[in-house]
Copies of this chain bind each other. A is one copy, B any other.
Amino acid sequence: MAKTRKHNYKKKAGQAPGTAIYTGEKTSEKLFIEAFDYNETEFREKELSHISEAFDFKSSNSKTWINLNGLNHVKDIEKIGQHYGLHPLVLEDIVNISQRPKIDEYDDYLFIVLKMLYYDKDEKIISEQVSFILGKNYVLSFQESEGDVFDTVRDRIRQAKGRVRSMDSDYLLYILIDAVVDYYFNIIEILGDKIEDFETEIFNGQARDDVSQNIQNLKREILRVRRAIFPLREVINRIEKCDNGLISKNTLNYYRDIYDHLIQVTENIDIYREMIWSLMDMYMTTISNKMNEVMKVLTIMASIFIPLTFIAGIYGMNFDNIPELHYQYSYYILWVVMILLFIGMLFYFKRKKWL
């Protein structure tokens, strides 16, 4: 991770501001553009082979969603930017994938950046940046690579499910963001499962030695998710307060709904954070308990046999005059004494609850 990050920053440092430079790693991604053009009654879907085809849609009266995959194709993105009159800083931010979720309000469009989070097959969190431009009857979306969480949105447009075809572009933006936020619930759910697994593992004493590093990794994962999601609350909040007429009063309730979901997600994340901090405590306690047990065994063994060995040592001495050595039953008496000692010790440790 560190290597990658270094790479990215280096690429950008020293560039004039407003210079669009792709800072990600997927430099050989194919450009893929799809356009959805619809109104209440009609609907057109098209995969675009060239960027210039996208320009026709702007003029149309219907609502348009243009989705572009492949941020490495900076030139094409700049062309779209010119066509839609986007500020150079916006273009720079679209292709700079280390953005923090944010919203920039311009006179005739809104620029929104957020993070799409999903788990890949190895249960590793993938974080991908998605940028949205919301304009009068159009939404542009920019993704790093193919594969996203928008299939339900596409279906709804195609099949005129729900309200999407009859509502404005601000509603389209809403269901796009809503689709992203829905996936956050998956993330927190899997995080929750991981924490519970650790708990079970630690409590059952099956914790492997690398558990503390795994906890540390989980901690970092939670921090990353937190960082991707928390600023989005503020973004949604500011969407609700936009006054350039792009967000109609009608859809505000929907954005408020997203906001509520985000509060729920972030609250869960904070609970996980707290729980993972105390997991470490629990693990430390387990270690201490184990050491305690080891100590007890050692103490019991040593405390019982050390005095007995001493006694045996006494009668192994070679003094000429040790009267006990010559009594007929002293060996048996000694055994009795030692067994009594042994039993006494056991009782003592029993009373101390060490056994």
Could you say which of A10-18, A52-60, A128-136, A140-148 contacts chain B? Answer: A10-18
The verdict on A325 contacting chain B, using a C-beta distance below 8 Å, is: yes
Given contacts A9-B186, A17-B254, A257-B89, contact A326 B316 (CB under 8 A): no
Could you say which of A64-72, A236-244, A282-290 contacts chain B? Answer: A282-290
The verdict on A203 contacting chain B, using a C-beta distance below 8 Å, is: yes
Contact of A220 with B299 in the complex, beta carbons under 8 Å: no
Chain A interface, number of residues (Cβ within 8 angstroms) = 113
Chain B contacts for A203, CB-based, 8 A: 210, 212-213
Contact of B5 with A189 in the complex, beta carbons under 8 Å: yes
Contact of A297 with B297 in the complex, beta carbons under 8 Å: no
Given contacts A161-B16, A285-B284, contact A306 B305 (CB under 8 A): yes
Contact of A274 with B199 in the complex, beta carbons under 8 Å: no
Contact of B253 with A192 in the complex, beta carbons under 8 Å: no
User: Which residue among A16, A104, A162 has the maximum number of chain B CB atoms within 10 Å of its CB?
Assistant: A16
Contact of A284 with B284 in the complex, beta carbons under 8 Å: yes
The verdict on A339 contacting chain B, using a C-beta distance below 8 Å, is: no
Chain B contacts for A220, CB-based, 8 A: 271, 275
Given contacts A87-B253, A216-B199, A285-B284, contact A223 B321 (CB under 8 A): no
Interface residues of A in 239-261 (CB under 8 A from B): 253-254, 256-257, 260
Chain B contacts for A78, CB-based, 8 A: none
Contact of B331 with A174 in the complex, beta carbons under 8 Å: no
Contact of A278 with B216 in the complex, beta carbons under 8 Å: yes
Chain B contacts for A219, CB-based, 8 A: 274-275, 278
Contact of A213 with B199 in the complex, beta carbons under 8 Å: yes
CA distance A274 to B13 in the complex (A): 27
Contact of A98 with B264 in the complex, beta carbons under 8 Å: yes
What are the 4 closest A-B residue pairs judged by CB atoms, nearest first?
A: A312-B313, A16-B162, A315-B317, A316-B316
